[in-house]
Amino acid sequence: MEKEQDDIEYNITFPSPNDNEVEPVVFLLGWFGAQDRHLAKYCDIWANEGCTTIRYIHKTNTIFFEDPVKSKGLRHAARKLLQLLDDYGLRNNPVIIHSFSNGGFFIYYHLADIFEMEDVNMIGAVFDSSPAKLEYFTGSRAVYYSGMPKLAAILVILGFGIYYFVWKIFIWFGLTVDLFQESARRKSQRWPSLFLYSSADVVVPCHQIKEMLNKRRMISKCYSHDFQTSAHCLHFREHREVYLNKCVEFLNNCLEIWDENE
């Protein structure tokens, strides 16, 4: 079901009627260059477990030219996504965020922050091919391999280079913070996390994901899996059964932990 709320577009899918006492909600947050048909392939993983899924992809023309920490657009989108829980009567349901690459992780950063402030029943987060540090070459690779026409990609990369230089100056003078480091040390967000990545990913270096994983392990329960051979954001396509099993196992672990703390 495709809906539009003010200026954000999203898709929501409800599970078939079942006898589950608990109906989790899963937010699927897309990567740079993703289309809804890509995210829709992940819905069955969660729908078969009785979950409602909400799919959202942030406008790609803003991802590389905004400070992700101070972005009004990202914050606005996160608030609109929060509102959906009230609009559909899902506010008391347990929630998982499943984000992809940095395009999804930027939204996750703000959505998780708002969920925490609003006492949403956030029970877990899945990170597919993310997070990556905000570095020029990482961002450039993400643009180059996004599927956009090569000339357009080169122009975006050049523009991103100028923006990145200015952003680093802001970091040096303490006018903003590094999203990667800020996320790594957030001790208040103690819900479990699942990191799904690949050593063969040429867009996001796996050592950066492992760095975040190791830092978060000192704060909360973390799970991970290295698919070893799959490309960026293609782990589900190339290792379908393993990916599905990791997500379902994580969901059950999160619900068990949440139930114990209720």
List the domain boundaries for the chain: 2-261
Q: How far apart are CA 5 and CA 215, in angstroms?
A: 36
Q: Given this model, what pLDDT does residue 113 score?
A: 93
And the tokens for 94? 């347990």
Q: How far apart are CA 6 and CA 85, in angstroms?
A: 16
Residues 6+ apart with CB under 8 A from 20: 50
Bridge partners of 100, per DSSP, are 128
Is 190 in contact with 218 (CB distance < 8 Å)?
no
Q: What count of other Cβ atoms lies within 10 Å of the Cβ of residue 116? A: 15
Q: 110-115, long-range: CB within 8 Å, 24+ apart, which pairs?
A: 110/71, 110/74, 110/75, 110/77, 110/78, 111/27, 111/29, 111/78, 111/81, 111/82, 112/189, 113/78, 114/78, 114/79, 114/82, 115/82
Q: How far apart are CA 146 and CA 7, in angstroms?
A: 24
DSSP class of residue 2?
E
Q: How far apart are CA 228 and CA 200, in angstroms?
A: 6
Class of domain 2-261: alpha beta
Q: How far apart are CA 40 and CA 47, in angstroms?
A: 11
Q: Given this model, what pLDDT does residue 56 score?
A: 96
Q: Given this model, what pLDDT does residue 7 score?
A: 74
And the tokens for 48? 């078969």
Q: How far apart are CA 184 and CA 192, in angstroms?
A: 13
Q: Write out the chain's pLDDT in tens, 262 residues.
A: 555 555 789 999 998 776 667 899 999 999 887 889 999 999 999 999 999 999 999 876 555 566 777 788 899 999 999 999 999 999 999 999 999 998 899 999 999 999 999 999 999 999 999 998 776 556 666 656 656 666 766 666 666 666 666 656 665 666 566 666 777 788 889 999 999 999 999 888 899 999 999 999 999 999 999 999 999 999 999 999 999 999 999 999 999 999 877 6
Tell me whether the omega of the peptide bond preceding residue 131 falls within 30 degrees of 0, making it cis: yes
